[in-house]
Amino acid sequence: MVQFRRIYLLIGCFFLGFIPWSIESAQAEIMFEGYYKIVSGTTKIGYFIQRYEFDPKSKKFISTYFIQTNNLGGNTTESLRAFADDKFQPISYQYTVKTPQMVKTIDATFKGTIMNAVITKGNTAETVSKKVPKGTFLSTFLGYLILQKGYTPGKKFNYSAVAEEDAESYNGEAYVKEQQTFLNKPVFKVLNSFKGVKFVSFVTDKGEVLGTQSPLQQIATELSPSPSGATEGFTLPSGPLKILFGKVPLGKPNILAGADKPAAAPSPEAIEPAPQEEPAQKPTPKKLPEKKAK
């Protein structure tokens, strides 16, 4: 099975670990939502949908994603629903993966530096309790955590993060190498190393990941301006998507979709969302003088 989870971020009955779309989600503000295509070499093998939200009432960040691959990608379906506080300290997450061979779910909660998780594989369930290093966060939030510290070329971040797919914490490193252009947008090129996987991510100054590349595994992802660009050749499972996201995601706001302005990611010092800009007023066209009849 290809380890997409380690590459792209730094995105019915088998949804056993899913929690329904909650009231908390209904109150949260979407900071980012996008559809990505997954390619191996030059061949498309799947897509994934990523959404980041912030609930100003409960002061929680929420990460939700869904991945689907074809036969070339292992015929895998994967999902995550993760919660963290406004300082990115982990609260809980629910993870599910389905392959032709098995179904695995993880339901984890955190209290201080203690992680308690129920890991279910098929009909077998295991309860584990582990201590994680102080300052450990959920790896799905890495981009926004770096954003709060500041994307600066030459800056290196060493961290401890939980790999949600196996309920283990690992040391990682993110190095902001340089600024460049990706998909015609200015980005920071970030070199990542986590869980034995090295990959490159291209991140905007708002923390939006526009794409990733893993040279050794020859796997790449790329944000699509529209859902159809990422999901062509696939049938969207609308039922499970509605359970996970509340509705079938529209794939915006993000820097490529352009229709809606993303909500600003709050910092621990200022958790109020940034005000939305008023739309520019269109000038009234001048009225041409009427011609007199001869």
Tell me the backbone φ, ψ of residue 182, rounded to 5 degrees.
-140, 130
> How far is Cα of residue 68 from the mean position of the Cα atoms in its chain?
14
Indicate the pTM of the whole model.
Answer: 0.81
DSSP structure class, residue 64: E
Tell me the pLDDT tens digit for each residue of 148-182.
889 999 999 999 999 999 999 999 999 999 999 99
pLDDT at 117 over 50: yes
pLDDT, mean over the chain = 85
Q: How confident is the model at residue 24 (pLDDT cuts 50, 70, 90)?
A: low
Tell me the pLDDT tens digit for each residue of 74-105.
999 999 999 999 999 999 999 999 999 999 99
Residue ranges per structural domain of the chain: 5-245
The structure tokens 């996201």 sit at 245
Q: How distant, in Å, are the alpha carbons of 191, 197, 272 from that of 187? A: 13, 22, 26
Tell me the pLDDT tens digit for each residue of 256-294.
996 444 444 444 333 333 333 344 444 444 444 554 444
Q: Which two tokens stand for residue 240?
A: 């499970």
Diameter over CA atoms, the chain: 93
Residue type, 72: L
- % helix / strand / coil in the chain, to the nearest 5? 10, 45, 40
The answer to whether 38 touches 118, Cβ cutoff 8 Å, is no
pLDDT at 20 over 60: no
Tell me the backbone φ, ψ of residue 113, rounded to 5 degrees.
-100, 15
